[in-house]
Amino acid sequence: MAELTIDELARAVGMTARNVRSHQTRGLLPGPTMRGRTGYYDDEHVERLELIKELQDEGLPLRLVERLLTTRGETAGRILALRRTVLAGLEQTENHSTTVAELTERFGSFDEESFQIATSIGAIIPHADGTLGLPNPALLDTAAEVMSYGIPLAPTLRIAQHVHTACHDAAQVFVDLVRDEVWLPFDEAGRPEEDWPRISSTIERIRPLASQVFVQMLPAAIASEIERVFGEELREQAQAS
């Protein structure tokens, strides 16, 4: 267990000693262990200050951080830790980049409509220097493959936009279900300690379970639509002949 002076603690968490004292005055941080006239802080103080920073990074003003930590500090930490686990691997990275000129060369054209749609679904992220970040290059790779079958870019991206909206709608329904049927009963029961592993496991599994639902249902749905459209075409041709 670390033994840190206030200056060492502040450096360890990227704060000033003044910030540390302020949090301590507010009751957000336990006092140090005193030896003579010097106070020493340990790993728990580091963890608490890092939690405060994370909550503030989530957009919570300090007064709400204070309220949350003084009532349910441990729960706040658990929820943040769970959130990090659930979102692991989903952070958008922009290791790839491009320009409008490069996209135009690749797709033959990249008009304003295509640009707006690609931006709205997160396929490209415009930067001030004129470059475009590509958080998920596979999206444009798929669009290029669809175009190789003779389908123009704008209709292809409009389909992606519909899918993007449908995915968000389905995700909202799925998460709301877990919130209403799992989290709220747990919350109303006072968040019993013995149920935390079950709750954490359930929330952590939301993403892969939802993905499995899409993977299992989408092929059948596509087959059904192919049958509906092209089956009708075949019937019309048979009647005409």
Question: Any idea where the domains of the chain sit in the sequence?
Answer: 6-87, 96-204
pLDDT at 89: 59
> What's the distance, CA 18 to chain centroid?
33
Q: Is the Cα torsion angle 107, 113, 117, 120 positive or negative in sign? A: positive
* Calpha distance 72→23 (Å, rounded): 16
User: Which own/partner pairs from 173-180 qualify as long-range (CB within 8 Å, at least 24 positions apart)?
Assistant: 174/206, 174/209, 174/210, 174/213, 175/206, 178/202, 178/203, 178/206
* Calpha distance 114→133 (Å, rounded): 16
Reading the chain (241 residues) residue by residue, the pLDDT tens digits are 668 999 999 999 999 999 999 999 988 888 899 998 899 999 889 988 888 888 888 777 888 888 777 766 567 777 777 776 666 656 555 568 899 999 999 998 899 999 999 999 989 999 988 899 998 888 899 999 999 999 999 999 999 999 999 989 988 888 898 889 988 998 899 888 899 888 888 888 888 888 888 889 988 988 898 888 888 777 777 777 6
Q: What is the pTM of this model?
A: 0.64
Look up the CATH number of domain 6-87. Answer: 1.10.1660.10
